[in-house]
Amino acid sequence: MKERIERLKKLTYIPQNEIAWLIEQAELSVKQQEIIEENKRQQEVTVHQFRQAQKDIQQLSGDRKRYKQALEKIITNLTFAITVAQNELEGDVK
């Protein structure tokens, strides 16, 4: 393609078939540029979605940690309450 372009630059008269080829190449170039721009846009969307997913995962991890700590406190309190209740029952039986 470069050779053909260089040859065309040297001509003073450009035949119709060569003009058609140039137009075709220009149209292809425009289509390629549109594809490149669309790919960049899609890449930006994907990066944004990935970053949002990372934030969501961090938030869920924090939530999970807080829920786990709360559940451990509840279990500790229930275990204590059960122990107190068992001691009271044993005291009533004696």
pLDDT, greater one: 16 or 76: 76
Q: Please give the pLDDT value at position 2.
A: 80
Q: Secondary structure of the chain: what % helix, strand, coil (to 5)?
A: 95, 0, 5
Residue 29, pLDDT > 90, answer yes
Q: Please give the pLDDT value at position 94.
A: 59
Q: How many domains does the chain have?
A: 1
Average pLDDT over residues 69-86: 95
Three-class SS string for the chain? CHHHHHHHHHCCCCCHHHHHHHHHHHHHHHHHHHHHHHHHHHHHHHHHHHHHHHHHHHHHHHHHHHHHHHHHHHHHHHHHHHHHHHHHHHHHHC
**Which range of residues forms the domain containing residue 45?**
2-93
pTM score, whole prediction: 0.55
